[in-house]
Amino acid sequence: MFGKKSYLKTLELRKQEILAQSDVNRVELLKDWEVLKTEMDRIKKHVRTAGSIASSAAFVAAAAALFRHKHEAPNTESRSKVPWVSAALSGARVGASLFTKFRSFMRERR
């Protein structure tokens, strides 16, 4: 086998070189893919944390808005000035923030 290489044609040598280079590129691609997966997992963790913080902040803001509307005016005249659409949207915000908080809690348990 040692002597056979001297008899190889130029194209056969080029083919062997390309195959070796292909193997090196394949290994490098797999390493890069693993680095990319690790980085995406890290970014996903940060995004989940930021989403959890944003969800909690939305919940606090919606709860503060609800309490502010309740304690702001005890008489019925000013109570009727608050549109029902605003109250419905505030309730929907609270429900959505509770849902996202519950969903993130369930994902963390897995």
Q: What is the rounded CA–CA span in Å between residue 66 and residue 90?
A: 7
Is pTM beyond 0.85 here? no
Mean pLDDT in residue range 31-41: 94
Task: Please name the residue that has the structure tokens 């909690």.
Answer: 56
Is residue 94 a contact partner of residue 56, using CB atoms and an 8 Å limit? Answer: no
Residue of higher predicted confidence among 18 and 93:
18
Please check the confidence at residue 37 and state whether its pLDDT lies above 90.
yes
| Confidence grade of residue 71 (pLDDT, cut at 50, 70, 90) | low
pLDDT score, position 21: 96
pLDDT score, position 74: 55
Flag the least confident range among 32-46, 64-78, 93-107: 64-78
Which H helix or E strand runs over 93?
helix 84-109
Q: What is the rounded CA–CA span in Å between residue 52 and residue 102?
A: 10
Is residue 79 a contact partner of residue 37, using CB atoms and an 8 Å limit? Answer: no
Please check the confidence at residue 97 and state whether its pLDDT lies above 80.
no
